[in-house]
Amino acid sequence: MPAPDSRSRSSSPYAVEQMAVTFSRSRLGAWWRWRSELACLAAVSGSYFYGWLRLGSWLWPLLILGGLALALGLVPQTRRWAAARFWVLFTRHRLQRSFWELRLHTRAGRLPLVPWIFSTPVGVRALVLIRAGMVFEDFEESAAAFAAACGARDCLVTASPRWAWLLFIDVIRNDALGPARVIRSPLADLPALDHDDDTARPELVDD
């Protein structure tokens, strides 16, 4: 008697599709989700081994790369860029995990695609391509779950004005109008009026 799991797989009309999806998710899907990390690892490893071959020592390339990373970390501009890039990568992985945990995927197990994600003044914005069988309302109702998964203050899900299969997820981490940021009024820079000027104040005449 065959095992129950093998019988269910053989009787499933999606057996061949599930095999293809599993292969795609384990190879191309994983590569796509980790493309930035793999590119950074390849660049650092290539620089290290190139310096090793040029300098003839494994220590000097390591010291040079470490000193360069320390110098870039001390510069405010590069430090802010690295922090923003870290939150972009972190948000992308947390959104992909949220899609799976919230069952925002097809019956074959295909997750929505995140072809573009970038940092904003208040957090991170992701462009999401939803699969067939999904609707915008499913993602809109999960906005609070996205914010909790990303450790953010709030999350806003908006639909594309042109295509129904595209939507935007804005993960809000910073409050641009919070107490830490004071927006000065341009009226504060105007010169103060002299209230003692007799010409600016009419005299009162008693009848």
The verdict on pTM exceeding 0.75 is no
- The C-alpha atoms of residue 30 and residue 21 are separated, in whole angstroms, by 12
Cβ distance 18 to 5 under 8 Å? no
Cβ distance 133 to 73 under 8 Å? no
Cβ distance 65 to 47 under 8 Å? yes
* Pick among 3.40.190.10, 3.30.980.40, 3.40.1160.10, 2.60.15.10: CATH of 76-178: 3.30.980.40
Backbone phi, psi, residue 55, to 5°: -95, -15
- The C-alpha atoms of residue 141 and residue 93 are separated, in whole angstroms, by 20
**pLDDT (tens place) for every residue of the chain, 207 residues total:** 444 444 444 444 444 444 444 444 556 767 777 888 888 888 888 888 888 888 888 888 888 888 888 888 788 888 888 889 999 999 999 999 999 999 998 888 888 999 899 999 999 999 999 988 889 999 999 999 999 999 999 999 999 988 989 999 999 988 765 555 556 666 666 676 555 555 555 555 555
